[in-house]
């Protein structure tokens, strides 16, 4: 009796699933990217995808090719892989829009108001201000503020010529938070509340952005509130011009809480990737042979003036920008540890002529994720190995499918096209400054058995390590 009932249930389930998959194939007829529905109504492939997005997408790419669509939680997401295709998307911002996706993240993750975020004129003014200040006007001031704060941090009694052991990630996080807060919000701003609340909020972002019932997000929302409350009130006089002017621009539109969220987004953007990139840079530096470490030191010594022991040499934004070996080192860190898929929304019905020779029809308002090829062995030989000089030869041509690709299509940690990260110059400069400060001022010892595991599979831009790494350090 039970066996018959069970057999009937299985039969009903199979029939339902076949119908469900057929329904979806009808909605997506020929000329569309292959649709992968999974076998759970509404949920689709969400569970498999969420377990390990990068691996799942790579597995599907091997079966279905560079363009395919996933059915996830009642909606569809089109994935586009291969630098030739990704580049085509980047250079068509009218068809593939970044801001629609950015707005949705602003609302879901950062609790920005739905209505005023669409105020195009203000959003446009704010973005021009960000680009102008972060890519030009305030670069030098930010660099000098960071340098001063670094010197101040490392001259306290906490650091001596005796070895001390620290948890490397927490230590770096404390440094980057203290410095970034002084850079953005001024010396008088107390970074303690941000130190307490930033990491818990950062870890809750996958939950806040997930398409799950709002009730399942209660704890994540509380962590977000604690972080955002650090920024209530008008910015200090000592805050950098960008922060003060952005506050003035949005004051007539936003209430106090919304203004603090707006500042919280900028603080998060300036910290999240920078802290993690900084961790991996120092980690890989310590794992290199003495001869490689010496090459990096030689560049520091050649480019920067000599200074007394225990002090940092004078550094301008321009001198930091000229350090090509350190730049290549950071590029390799970003290649190996940046995992996110950049999001775009189709703003029209699009006929996408893909690299495989097919033309795919995509409907207006199709969410599209661009898959980076940072671990593609056809482009990057031995892709899971850190090679400090992989990007040193700037004339080197990479290729995919037998055709050359620009480095800016192969290596995309800052996104691409019109929406390239506006913070990329200051981010590089800060990371170099921190690395130089640590190398010039400290001796480090990382035991060989300390191996940091990458959380790449959770698809978090540059992710933190998955395990705790202890390092010994002392002032030189």
Residues contributing to the site for ligand HEM (CB under 6 A):
98, 102, 130, 134, 269-270, 273-274, 277, 338, 342, 413-416, 419-423, 426-427, 461-462
Judged by beta carbon, residue 392 or residue 461, the one nearer ligand HEM is: 461
Listed in sequence order, the residues at least 6 apart from 46 whose beta carbon sits closer than 8 Å to its beta carbon are 38, 40, 72, 73, 211
Judged by beta carbon, residue 83 or residue 422, the one nearer ligand HEM is: 422
Judged by beta carbon, residue 35 or residue 230, the one nearer ligand HEM is: 230
What's the closest the beta carbon of residue 111 comes to ligand HEM, in angstroms? Answer: 17
Judged by beta carbon, residue 72 or residue 265, the one nearer ligand HEM is: 265
Judged by beta carbon, residue 134 or residue 435, the one nearer ligand HEM is: 134
Give the three-state DSSP class for 320.
helix
Report the relative pairing of strands 403-405 and 398-400 from DSSP bridges. Answer: antiparallel
Judged by beta carbon, residue 34 or residue 102, the one nearer ligand HEM is: 102
Judged by beta carbon, residue 209 or residue 450, the one nearer ligand HEM is: 209
Neighbour-count burial for 47-63, b at 16+ CB within 10 Å, e otherwise: ebbbeebbebbeebbee
What's the closest the beta carbon of residue 162 comes to ligand HEM, in angstroms? Answer: 33
Cα-to-chain-centroid distance, residue 13: 40
Cα-to-chain-centroid distance, residue 145: 24
Judged by beta carbon, residue 35 or residue 260, the one nearer ligand HEM is: 260
What's the closest the beta carbon of residue 279 comes to ligand HEM, in angstroms? Answer: 11
Rounded CA-CA distance 399/25 in Å is 34
What's the closest the beta carbon of residue 81 comes to ligand HEM, in angstroms? Answer: 15
Judged by beta carbon, residue 274 or residue 346, the one nearer ligand HEM is: 274
Cα-to-chain-centroid distance, residue 369: 14
What's the closest the beta carbon of residue 432 comes to ligand HEM, in angstroms? Answer: 11
Give the three-state DSSP class for 109.
coil
Note every long-range contact of 289-297, with CB atoms under 8 Å and residues 24 or more positions apart, other chains counting: 292/388, 295/325, 296/325, 296/326, 296/329, 296/439, 297/439
What's the closest the beta carbon of residue 418 comes to ligand HEM, in angstroms? Answer: 7
The answer to whether 407 and 391 have CB atoms below 8 angstroms apart is yes
Report the relative pairing of strands 164-167 and 470-475 from DSSP bridges. Answer: antiparallel
DSSP string, 434-472: HHHHHHHHEEEE--TT--PPB-GGG--SBPPBSS--EEE
Listed in sequence order, the residues at least 6 apart from 168 whose beta carbon sits closer than 8 Å to its beta carbon are 279, 282, 283, 446, 469, 470, 471
What's the closest the beta carbon of residue 271 comes to ligand HEM, in angstroms? Answer: 8
What's the closest the beta carbon of residue 340 comes to ligand HEM, in angstroms? Answer: 6
Cα-to-chain-centroid distance, residue 324: 22
Judged by beta carbon, residue 78 or residue 274, the one nearer ligand HEM is: 274
Neighbour-count burial for 341-359, b at 16+ CB within 10 Å, e otherwise: bbbbbbbeebebebbeeee
What's the closest the beta carbon of residue 307 comes to ligand HEM, in angstroms? Answer: 27
Helix 424-441 × helix 324-337 angle, to 10°: 110
What's the closest the beta carbon of residue 272 comes to ligand HEM, in angstroms? Answer: 8
DSSP conformational letter for 221:
H
Judged by beta carbon, residue 48 or residue 339, the one nearer ligand HEM is: 339
What's the closest the beta carbon of residue 468 comes to ligand HEM, in angstroms? Answer: 22
């Amino acid at each position: 009796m039970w066996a018959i009932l069970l057999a009937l249930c299985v039969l009903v389930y199979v029939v339902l699933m076949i119908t469900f998959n057929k329904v979806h194939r009808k909605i997506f007829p020929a000329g569309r990217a292959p649709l992968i529905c999974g076998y759970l109504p509404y949920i689709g492939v969400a569970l498999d995808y969420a377990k390990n997005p990068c691996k799942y997408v790579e597995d599907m790419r091997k079966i279905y090719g560079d363009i395919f669509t996933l059915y996830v939680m009642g909606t569809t997401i089109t994935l586009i892989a291969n630098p030739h295709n990704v580049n085509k998307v980047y250079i068509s911002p009218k068809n593939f829009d970044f801001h629609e996706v950015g707005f949705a993240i602003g609302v879901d993750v950062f609790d920005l108001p739905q209505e005023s975020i669409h105020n195009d004129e203000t959003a446009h003014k704010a973005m021009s201000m960000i680009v102008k200040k972060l890519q030009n006007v305030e670069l030098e001031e930010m660099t000098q503020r960071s340098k001063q704060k670094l010197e101040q941090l490392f001259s306290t009694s906490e650091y001596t010529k005796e070895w001390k052991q620290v948890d490397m990630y927490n230590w770096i996080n404390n440094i980057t938070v203290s410095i970034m807060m002084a850079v953005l919000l001024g010396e008088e701003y107390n970074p303690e509340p941000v130190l307490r609340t930033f990491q818990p909020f950062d870890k809750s972002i996958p939950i806040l952005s997930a398409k799950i019932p709002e009730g399942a997000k209660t704890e994540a929302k509380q962590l977000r509130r604690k972080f955002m409350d650090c920024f209530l009130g008008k910015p200090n006089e000592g805050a950098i011009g960008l922060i003060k002017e952005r506050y003035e621009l949005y004051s007539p539109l936003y209430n106090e809480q919304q203004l603090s969220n707006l500042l919280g987004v900028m603080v998060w953007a300036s910290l999240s990737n920078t802290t993690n990139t900084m961790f991996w840079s120092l980690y890989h530096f310590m794992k290199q042979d003495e001869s490689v470490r010496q090459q990096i030191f030689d560049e520091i010594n050649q480019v920067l003036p000599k200074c007394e022991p225990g002090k940092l040499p004078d550094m301008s934004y321009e001198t930091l920008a000229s350090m090509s070996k350190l730049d290549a080192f950071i590029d390799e860190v970003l290649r190996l540890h940046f995992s996110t898929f950049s999001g775009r929304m189709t703003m029209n019905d699009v006929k996408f002529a893909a690299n495989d020779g097919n033309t795919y029809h995509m409907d207006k308002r199709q969410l599209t994720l661009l898959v980076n090829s940072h671990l593609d062995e056809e482009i990057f030989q031995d892709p899971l190995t850190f090679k400090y000089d992989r990007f040193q030869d700037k004339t080197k041509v990479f290729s995919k499918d037998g055709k050359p690709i620009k480095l800016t299509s192969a290596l995309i940690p800052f996104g691409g096209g019109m929406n390239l990260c506006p913070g990329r110059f200051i981010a590089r400069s800060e990371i170099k400054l921190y690395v130089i400060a640590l190398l010039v001022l400290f001796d480090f010892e990382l035991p060989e058995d300390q191996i940091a595991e990458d959380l790449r599979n959770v698809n978090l831009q540059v992710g933190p390590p998955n395990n705790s790494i202890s390092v010994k350090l002392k002032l030189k």
